[in-house]
Amino acid sequence: MKRHLQQRQQEADFHDKKVIASTYFSIGAFLVLACLTFSLLILPLVLPPLPPPPSLLLWLPVCLLVLLVVLAFMPTDVRSMASSYL
């Protein structure tokens, strides 16, 4: 009896997951994603190349990376952090 209930529960869970997966994207959302993918694949082949960005703008990702590395390796005082949450 218990095994039968477990099997039925597993079937219900599988059915719920299947319903959630099938309704995760509506048809409209799927069409928007398909059009966006199509435009990202085709437009660079059709449009003329853009001029390069200003050199100052090229330093932005480099500066962000340096900032993240500095923050990642910055030492912290764990005792003061732990006492603030208590």
Tokens of 54: 């200003």
Looking only at Cα atoms, what is the longest distance across the chain?
A: 73
Q: What is the pLDDT along the chain (86 residues), one digit of tens a residue?
A: 656 656 666 666 665 555 555 567 788 889 999 999 999 999 989 989 889 889 899 999 999 999 999 999 988 776 666 665 55
Alpha-carbon distances, residue 79 vs 71, 72, 74, 83 (angstroms): 18, 18, 15, 6
Number of domains present in the structure of the chain: 1
pLDDT given for residue 34 in this prediction: 94
Q: What is the pTM of this model?
A: 0.39
pLDDT given for residue 74 in this prediction: 86
User: By residue range, what is the domain housing residue 16?
Assistant: 2-85
C-alpha angle 21-23-25 in degrees, rounded to nearest 5:
95
